[in-house]
Structure 1
Amino acid sequence: MPMPPLVLASTSPFRRELLARLGLPFATANPAVDEAPLPGEKPEASALRLSQAKARAVADSHPGALIIGSDQVAYLDGHVFGKPETHQNALRQLQSMRGRQVNFFTGLCLLDARTGRAHLRGVPTVVTFRDLTDHEIENYLRREQPYNCAGSAKSEGLGIALIARIDGEDPNALIGLPLIALCDLLRLENVAVLDQPPTAHPAIN
């Protein structure tokens, strides 16, 4: 039985690059979901809700597909660090995180658009930040400009220099797509990654 089409509900180049590592053909789609947390919503619940919302947002346009949605939140002492959007917000985020352990929680959803069945998984990661000076933080922000990244720290880029330690079950989760958990969820839909024929160009759009 052939594998159904695979769709990544994200326009993130980093998630696209991660998914391509599995060697499966896939398309991408923009989920256009409001990512604001609900009043009183816990960070973990927000990430899981939004990962599923992103997958369902593109289901109508991909009715025969398996759709991957993912969302990440960063939080410390009950405060959620969203996408900073501006330099000043990013500066404040990193100043408050330096020398501290920050929780990153990545929600993952695999939705079978044919049946409406959704599998959810949450992957926690704890990041210990270096005790950075204001000068180091400013230099990082000017060079990386991570203003569309939750927590302002892109570990897949120069942001790794901000970090003293990473504790988690999947290093890919911090970048935004936990591949270990995704392989588990794909198996639940009878897609074993290593049983699929190789493809030279996994991303098809």
Structure 2
Amino acid sequence: MKKLEIACFTIASIKIALENGANRIELCNQMEVGGTTPSHEMVTEAAKYDLLKYAMIRPRGGNFVYSTEEFESMKKSLLDLKEQAIDGFVFGLLTEDFQVDISKNKELIQLAHPLPCTFHRAFDQVIEVKQALEDCITCGFQNILTSGLKQTAIEGKEILQALIQQANNRITIMPGGGIRSSNIEELDRFVQANWYHSAAITDGSNTANAEEIQNLKQKLHA
């Protein structure tokens, strides 16, 4: 069965995602910078719902090369969230030459254990995509969220298809980036992924749209 993860940037989105069939949510703040670590208030609210909840660990917008102080704050955030009703984590650290930072990502994954981790769209900035996939597997990630190194998943569908073939079920490739009910059928026919990621926002706000989630699910199961 095809599954759908909804990025939730507001507390209202959590309930909307739950009530309209999301299989998992990604909790994060600051949609305008692509997402940062969710607030305590958001995580507390999400704990009330019986739904798989992953939390982003990202201290700021901008690039994915972090200072020692920022990395320490990421570790602290992860450990704090691990004590709450979180089912997994989403993060991604790169080196200055745009490779997966194996040592730092491994350290966070070890702290997260036994909870699963997703390497987020920092992946779309890597230089050597095939090596980056292998590096994510080496680190211990269970998922990679990517638009295929393009602005949107539709634009990156050829790379997404190649990544899924290379992964060969060793890691889940989850397309994300501009995915809507208007294009998910076309994308799925081409890439044949098992998981898809969308914010399901249709009105320029930062809150998911209930009908859009329903339509995304319907198109995936059509």
Normalising by structure 1, what TM-score?
0.29
Kindly indicate whether structure 1 or structure 2 has the higher relative contact order, using CA contacts under 8 Å at least 6 residues apart. 1
Structure number having the greater strand percentage: 1
More helix by share: 2
TM-score w.r.t. the length of structure 2 is 0.27
